[in-house]
Structure 1
């Protein structure tokens, strides 16, 4: 059976986010899908994002679903509709039943955790995209990202509650990034244990490991598959 990696980007991002990881996985003989989610479409929410992924998977089997950041809300919904062998959450949001993505931030204490990390490191609390997300991404990759322009997500997906009654019964791994400024490591350790009942794995780097550390992230993903 062929293993298919399905790589989901975070809010406002697209398949380009995985452009340094996908070729590495393909070179190891794996099928790779990088569906673009309609983040900017005001008529689309979590259900529509899920439809896009399910349609992209089609009849494929041996699916390994990898979800970055806000796609942590989408991946479990996909698992309810297609057979998934393994779900890997990377620097992801972990919802609970009835909680909308907009409510998640206050419910988990994310803002306080982000502020406390900034204070410890002597950084300004004010939001800056480069400082928050690209502080460890190579300059040339950062410039490519900014040249591609912004894809600000619509408010729609943040408004409706996550519809699942519980997390799906699918083998799940969580990979946090120790220098993530948006979702600090100690915050993720607590939330993941509370909501998933597992201890997350860890790697170095910030919130965008597929851009900052693609080789290391690829090796982590391959290790998960080979040990499953």
Structure 2
């Protein structure tokens, strides 16, 4: 496992070159990307990617899910995955007009949020992209992939993560707090500055496994009807490549891309490669 961190380019010239590279992929038509963060993180995780997508002529919306980023709720006030994902669901309901379709990009736990959104608003979704993300199927309960992950991931992978129950008996949940050692595992190939940013901004979250296990399966007519793409990150130490490829097989996803040398946070470790990958996906699948 790599122990050093790559430093990001700091010159304006480097950023200009990156933006020009993004423009080199011809655009069939401008797309609207909606970027959804993973557990404990927030809209801030996309700060490097969003301007690159916009420089290429696309729209990019970043959202804080409940109890994430600058959202005012605490995780102790959120008991269901639907509540947690509500900012995304509200956005699709209220801010995407009829006839417009967006490209949903879910990272890590955000994969389940974009899957839920696609199931509810399939007519507003051009494609769903799972970026080294948890992806459900339409056969099992939405909790299935998380249950399989928890059963197969070695306990030492969690390092200094703390799991803490909350609630009063009528409503109960389990908070998950990432420690600096676990964050270092997720960010092992990312710039050190971005790891330090995460240590400052990451908040307690939850996997909502109990709630997801009580929900209905996602539908073939909803989630199963939209174009789905999985982006494999082959140096991910949080969700292993082996488990990523198991999820691809389990969900029946046929459209697969790969970013070599990317850790669990490709928006930091391979920003430009991720941007190029999304531009190709937008051209090919929408």
Identify the TM-score tier after normalising by the shorter chain. 0.7 to 0.9
Q: Which has the larger radius of gyration?
A: 2
Following superposition of structure 1 onto structure 2, how do residues 1-228 of structure 1 map, counting pairs within 5 Å?
Answer: 2-39=30-67, 40-41=74-75, 42-57=77-92, 58-60=95-97, 61-82=100-121, 83-96=124-137, 97-101=139-143, 104-108=145-149, 112=152, 114-115=153-154, 125=157, 127=159, 128-148=181-201, 150-154=202-206, 157-161=208-212, 162-163=215-216, 164-166=218-220, 167-198=223-254, 200-204=256-260, 205-228=262-285
Residues of 1 paired with 2:255 and 2:102: CA distance? 23
Residues 37-56 of structure 1: per-residue CA shift (max 9 Å, x gap): 01443325221244311322
Residues of 2 paired with 1:38 and 1:77: CA distance? 15
TM-score, normalised relative to structure 2: 0.68
**Cα root mean square deviation, aligned:** 2.4
Structure 2 unpaired stretches of 5+: 1-28, 68-73, 160-180
Task: Give how far 1:216 is off.
Answer: 0.8
2:131–2:232 Cα contact (<8 Å) kept: yes
Task: Give how far 1:193 is off.
Answer: 1.0
Number of equivalenced pairs? 216
Structure 1 unpaired stretches of 5+: 119-123
Give structure 1 regions of 4+ aligned residues with deviation exceeding 6 angstroms: none
